[in-house]
Structure 1
Amino acid sequence: MSAPKKVVLAYSGGLDTSIILKWLETEYGCEVVTFTADLGQGEELEPARKKAEMMGVKEIHIEDLREEFVSDFVFPMFRANAVYEGLYLLGTSIARPLISKRLVEIAEATGADAVAHGATGKGNDQVRFELACYALNPDIKVIAPWREWDLTSRTRLLEFAEAHQIPVAKDKRGEAPFSVDANLLHTSSEGKVLEDPAEMAPDYVYQRTDDPVGGPDQPEYIEITFEKGDAVAINGTAKSPATILTELNEYGRKHGIGRLDFVENRFVGMKSRGIYETPGGTILLEAHRGIEQITLDSGAGHLKDSIMPRYAELIYNGFWFSPEREMLQALIDKSQEHVSGTVRVMLFKGMARTVGRWSDHSLYSEAHVTFEDDAGAYDQKDAAGFIQLNALRLKLLAARDRRLKG
């Protein structure tokens, strides 16, 4: 790869990406443009601007992408009820395509010929960033310093920082206890004190949820309204997508909802232990399944459930912009045309549980299901023929087996 002349760097303002910024300048002699996205990680982003300015960056992009993140990435994923390996709500995975999209767009707008990220060579994020970038611009150059440089220890990173006058916070002088990724959907904590999967995670790892054991002793009830599979209101008040997720996060925090201690299979081949907190997303998933229960046809729902693991795996592995993910999305979105109505959810000590649901689009017929007189809505005698037809092949199999045994 020829040396880039101008690089757009996904920049957090932290030590690692600040070192990457200076390394790109010294290694390639190129100009660096920084891009910092507000995805609801809960941190002030102005310090990132000041740090970039201090390091001599001329073009600094800081963008609030919270609404786009939830409306165009989180909500489509939740229409699918996407869960990776039965447990993980894909909080880190779903943020990467949006960051990559803006990296490529800023590169085009600023005349940059490359983009760079701070993902390591052991993780999934390098794959997610790069697959997304190449899908959007097949000619873009992607630089992954962690796969190239010789700064292979914390000591060498700190030495590089000091040699280039990069400020190092005091708490970065030692080994960080764990690594954190955060956005509006979740927080992810990995490494260091969490690397032994046999050891219980320390309480201080949890940042977005209160301990459910010490939570309120009385349950709290909220109502979430959906239109075509997307949440549009809480307790009857319409809100924007990002505002809804923010408010659900607060409900989830208070009741300790959405904690997950998970050993997952990374795309690159190794197993990894992580502590995830997805308070609002856990409530949202429960509520969405609740409204689907009365509005989604059984055939459509079962088909949708059967493709969900494949859809979730595509997102986890970085294939958001692939044709197969888009094909599955079209199927999923078709299924959501009548997924509208309201769900009442009980929140209590780490649990979110649907306790009521209603909709003008409901397929639930009390006349058909009642144990009382159904006034002729359903003829129970019809079930006899239904059973006989479905039993026919089983009876033929059993008859053959008995004949062969005899």
Structure 2
Amino acid sequence: MAKVVLAYSGGLDTSIIIPWLKENYGYDVIAMVADLGQGDDYDAVREKALKSGAAGVHVRDVKREFVEDYLFPLVRSGAVYEGKYLLGTSVARPLIAKCLVETAEAEGAEAVAHGATGKGNDQVRFEVSVMALNPDLKVVAPWREWDIRSRQEAMAYAAARGIPVPATKERPFSMDQNLWHLSHEGGVLEDPGNAPPEDLYLLTVPPERAPDRPTYVELEFERGVPKRLDGAAVDPVTLVERLNALGGANGVGIVDMVENRLVGMKSRGVYETPGGTILVAAHRELELLTLDRNTLHFKDTIAVRYAELVYDGLWFTPLREALDAFVTETQKPVTGRVRLKLYKGNCVPAGAWSPCSLYDQELSTFEEDEVYDQKDAAGFINLFGLPVRIQARVRRRNR
């Protein structure tokens, strides 16, 4: 029988896809589970996939690759989608697609499948990434083919086949979790007028219930890459895990937003990204200390485009690689330490130091100094304002 490799999580959608693929395509289904730090019981996930009808299961531990090759480049780029979203789901999809392709090639499968809906961004991210890595693989997207039209119908389909699923009528949220974040969509969140329910958060305590005393954290970077936490060298995965714990305990990293999906509609999501929020804030403070004005401002412009590429599923493209080359060049002086204060949902600077700092206290001081002649500013202003002066004279003459 022909084989298909399914991106499997054990959640509602992928749980019912296994029997559906067998019933409608006659495929042998190979379940591929990518461990990106979501903290699942993978023995249980494996058993559930097999009981659901999978012919085989591959569990891929790609946490370190996720952090080093996807998350750290994202942090260095400064990419934040629409000013709020730290791209936790978006940045994981190309790596999952890479695992899908590698598993399909190892299994000799003719196709891959995913559980993304026809309304969402993930279908694009998965399929464009697969195209980039192996254009000969067929892609099956059940949500675009079957008659199931809602999560309630999906739960009924699962129940009819004896497949237990985590979603319930009381907690119908669609959630995606990895080492970087946890997202929540659906249910009462579909109305932007509804505040998130108090029991929604799983990684982060609500800020009002965070400790009454601040927590301080210190991060050290080398060329834009975080290397040490509170003075101790830690591996990349442990670094993110510890920052998640610190940020989560202090209510840091909650984002509630209505975003513009690639497919044309707006959607409302609530994201928990405690560790990522701390890393992005620390990296930004160090860039402010070490990058010159022109480089920093231009980098900010490409960060918007970088975020769009990641959000749109265009990770494996020449433009993203070219932007990474630019970012890598800008990060040469981004070395040093940043101290942050975490307090009731806030993450604020508490000091930054760098051997590459461009800040000159003697030059910037409001006190008396010997290095700056304030009279020089008059000539600078005259030249800087010359176009404005000329335009004003022309307007006055033509009134």
Report the TM range for the smaller structure's normalisation: over 0.9
Q: C-alpha deviations, 1:357-382, integer Å up to 9, x for none?
A: 0011111111211223323x222222
Letter in 1 for 2:263: V
One of 26, 29, 38 as aligned partner of 2:26:
29
Shift of residue 175 of structure 1? 6.1
One of 324, 332, 355 as aligned partner of 1:337:
332
**Structure 1 pair 388–117 and aligned structure 2 pair: CA distance change class (3 A):** same
**Structure 1 pair 51–384 and aligned structure 2 pair: CA distance change class (3 A):** same
**Structure 1 pair 189–173 and aligned structure 2 pair: CA distance change class (3 A):** closer
Could you say which residue in structure 2 is the equivalent of 1:363? 358
One of 249, 256, 260 as aligned partner of 2:244:
249
5+ residue gaps, structure 1: none
2:395 is the alignment partner of 1:401: yes
Shift of residue 172 of structure 1? 4.6
Q: C-alpha deviations, 1:102-127, integer Å up to 9, x for none?
A: 10111111111110000010111001
Shift of residue 52 of structure 1? 2.3
Could you say which residue in structure 2 is the equivalent of 1:138? 135
**Structure 1 pair 107–368 and aligned structure 2 pair: CA distance change class (3 A):** same
Distance 1:234 1:355 in 2: 15
One of 103, 107, 110 as aligned partner of 2:107:
110
TM-score, reference length from structure 2: 0.96
Shift of residue 194 of structure 1? 0.8
Distance 1:343 1:141 in 2: 47
Could you say which residue in structure 2 is the equivalent of 1:147? 144
Shift of residue 28 of structure 1? 1.2
Distance 2:60 2:17 in 1: 20
Could you say which residue in structure 2 is the equivalent of 1:167? 163
Q: C-alpha deviations, 1:190-225, integer Å up to 9, x for none?
A: 011111101111111111101111211111111100
**Structure 1 pair 186–172 and aligned structure 2 pair: CA distance change class (3 A):** closer
2:348 is the alignment partner of 1:353: yes
Tell me if the contact between 2:19 and 2:53 (Cα under 8 Å) persists in the aligned partners.
Answer: no
TM-score, reference length from structure 1: 0.94
Distance 1:323 1:5 in 2: 33
* Structure 1 range deviating more: 379-388 or 27-36: 379-388
Shift of residue 55 of structure 1? 3.8
2:275 is the alignment partner of 1:283: no
Tell me if the contact between 2:218 and 2:229 (Cα under 8 Å) persists in the aligned partners.
Answer: yes
**Count, aligned residues:** 399
Shift of residue 153 of structure 1? 4.1
One of 175, 194, 197 as aligned partner of 2:192:
197
* Aligned counterparts, 1:192-231, within 5 A: 192-231=187-226
5+ residue gaps, structure 2: none
**Structure 1 pair 156–369 and aligned structure 2 pair: CA distance change class (3 A):** closer
2:281 is the alignment partner of 1:301: no
Shift of residue 349 of structure 1? 0.6
Could you say which residue in structure 1 is the equivalent of 2:123? 126
**Structure 1 pair 52–360 and aligned structure 2 pair: CA distance change class (3 A):** same
Could you say which residue in structure 2 is the equivalent of 1:325? 320
